Structure 1
C-alpha cells in the first residue's frame, strides 16, 4: 500500500500547489478536502454473498479535489480518494480483512447557480480509475452535490457519486463525501463573479454577458450606454424601445405609435389643409396659406374667404326661404273664405296648424300675412274684410305658440286678384290669405 500512498500524496501536493499558484493569473479555482465513505460495493462471492461490508470508512481515509472554472457554470475537477474496504466474512486463513481503496477521477461539474449564493448545488459526470489493493479498473462516474458557502472563499461540501466499473473484477459502488471547500481567484470588488482584471465595471455588479457591467433591463446594453436603462430595447436603438419601428427611439419620438422620420421627431408628415406646408411647420394647419406666410392665409385670402362664406350663407338662407315660402303658400291656398265672411273652418284650422309648425321651426324668421277679397262689394267694405281675414289667421297662429313679434298682418282688399272675378271659381280663389317671409 505504501507505494500507492506516496503516489497519492505526490498528486495531492501537485494539485494543491497548482490551485494556489493559479491565483496569480486570476483564474477561479476551488479545492476541497474531507472524509469519504464507500457504500454498498457490488462484488459478490461465489456463494452469492456480498464480499464486502455495506459501509466502509477508514479513519485515515480522505477525498481531495482541485477544480477550475472552464466557462460560465461548467468546471473541471481532479479528484483523489483514499479509503479501505473490509470483508464481510473473514476466514481463519485470511490474514488481512481490509483492502486499500485508491481512486483517481476527472469530473466535469455543472453548477445550477452562479456560485454567489450560499447554497450552490451541482451535478457532476466523468470517469476515473479505482484500485482495490493491487487490482485496478476504469469507472464511469456520475453524481450530485452542493457547496454551502460561508463568505466568498470558504464553505462546506457534500457529494454523492456512483462509480460503475464494466470489468467483472471492477468495483461498482457509491462514494459519499463531506468536507471543507476553498475558492481561489483574483480580486472581485463588486462580487459579481468576474475578476477585476476581466471586469469592464469592476466596482459595479454586472453579468457575464455584459463583461461585468450592470444591465438593469437585460437588453444587452450596459446601463452607462443605455439611453433607456429601465426599458428593454435593441442595441441599435441605444437600448431604447421603438414600438412603431420607425428608427426613432420612443424616448425621443413625439409620435411613438405612428411611423415618421427622425428629422420629423418620429412623426408622420401631415398637410391637413393641403397647402404644401406640413403641419409641423404650418402655423395655420387647418387653413391653407402660402409657404412665405408660414402656411397661414394672406389678408386678401381671408377677405375673399369671408366674402365667399357670406355668399355661401346667403345662398343657403335663400334656399331655406324659398323652401319655407313654398310650404307656407301651399298650406295657405287650402284656406278658403265664404263670401263676405272672415271666419275659419275646420279645414282652415288644420292648414293653419301645419303653418304653425313651420313658423315655430324657424324662430329667427319674420312673417307677414296678407288678406284679400273678390270684387263683390265696395272697396271700403272689402278692405275691412281682408284686414279681418288676415287678423283672424294671425290670432289663430299666436294662440298656437307663434310669437307676436314674429308675425304681422294687413288687408289689401280687392286690389290684388289672382284669378278672374267674373267667374265663381275665380272669385273663390281671390278670397284668400298669403304668407311671406319678410327678413
Structure 2
C-alpha cells in the first residue's frame, strides 16, 4: 500500500515537471538546517493506528525527539518543481525494523533526493510545497537502509533568491532494516550562482516618425489645435484670434471684444461727447447734441438763451419769460390806453391814430407776433347792444391794422361787452375804466 502511494505521488510530480514553464526556475542553491527526528510516533502508529496514537497520547514527547543538522542542495527543474538533495546526521539509538534495537548510541547518516512541487513560483513571499523522493540511511557505518521520504513544507522568500524553509517528512521503509520516522526540519538556502542576464539583441533603431503638418505652419498636427488652418505657436497653431470678428486680430485690436474699424485700431467710431452720435456723423463732436441737428445742440439763432425750438421769436433776441420774444406787451398795454371812440360810436378818435400806428410798427418789427383785440364796455344800457358795440369797435381796430399792412391772420377781434369789468360800474370813474380796448400780444 505504501509503495502504491509513493508511485502515484511520483507520477504526479513527473506530470507536473513536463507541464510547467521553465522561465522562473530556481537557481542552484545551498542550504543549511536543523531537524528533529521522531521514531516514537511512527512506531505507535504502526503498532496501533493514527487515531489511537492521538487519543492515547502515545506520540513522541519533546524528550523523544533527536536533534540533528543537515546540508541541502536545491536546483530548479521548472518554475514550480525543484530538485532537492539533503545530507543529515544525528546521534541516536537506532530501532531497526525487524531487528534487535541498538543499545548503544551511534551516528545516523541520511542521504536523500526529493522533488518539491511548489504551489507558486519563487516570486511569492510564502510558497507551500509537497515533497517526495528516495533516500538511504547508514548507522555507525555498518548498515545501509533505504526509505522514501514524503511530506510537505513552506518556503519563505527573503529576497535575491534566498529563502527559509520549514519541512516535515514521513520516511517510509523501502528496504533493509530502515525504521520509519518523522523528520521536522528548518533551514536557510541561498543561490550559489548569479542569475544569467539575457543577451541584449541589437536591433536597429526604428525609423524616425515624421509627424504630419497639414496646414504647413511648422506645428505638427498632434500639437496643432487648428491643424487645417495655418497659425502660430503662441496660439497652439491657430491664427491670431479676432474675438469681435471685425477683421482686425486681437493683437492689433485696441477693442478686441467690440467690432470696430482699422482707422480706429479696431475700436468703433468714437463718440467723444457721449450723445450717441459717432464723431464721423457729429458736426459738434465735443458738445452733446441731437441727431436731428447732426449731433449739435438745439440752435439759438438770436442768441437770447432760448433755443430755437422753444423760441417763438428765434431771429429776434427776447426773454425766456416771453418764450424768447421781446417784452413788448408792456409797451402795447400803454399804447392801448390811448385808444378812444366817440360816445356810443364805432369811429376811432383822431387822437388814437398815433398810438395805433406805434402798435402797427411793433407788429411789423416782430412778425411772429399775433395780436388779440378785445373790446369792453360798462354796464349802462342793454347788454346785447353793449356786446355788439364792443365787437364793432374791436373790428374797427382790426381793420385799421390791416390797412397798415398787418396780415389779417395775425389779428383776432372779439367783443366782450360788459362781461369783464376791471372796476366798479357804480361810479363814473369805474365805468370810465371799463370802457376800454385791450391789445394782447401772443407769439406763434
TM exceeding 0.5: no
Structure holding more helix per residue: 1
Larger Cα Rg: Structure 1 or Structure 2? Answer: 2
TM-score normalized with structure 2 length:
0.32
TM-score normalized with structure 1 length:
0.32
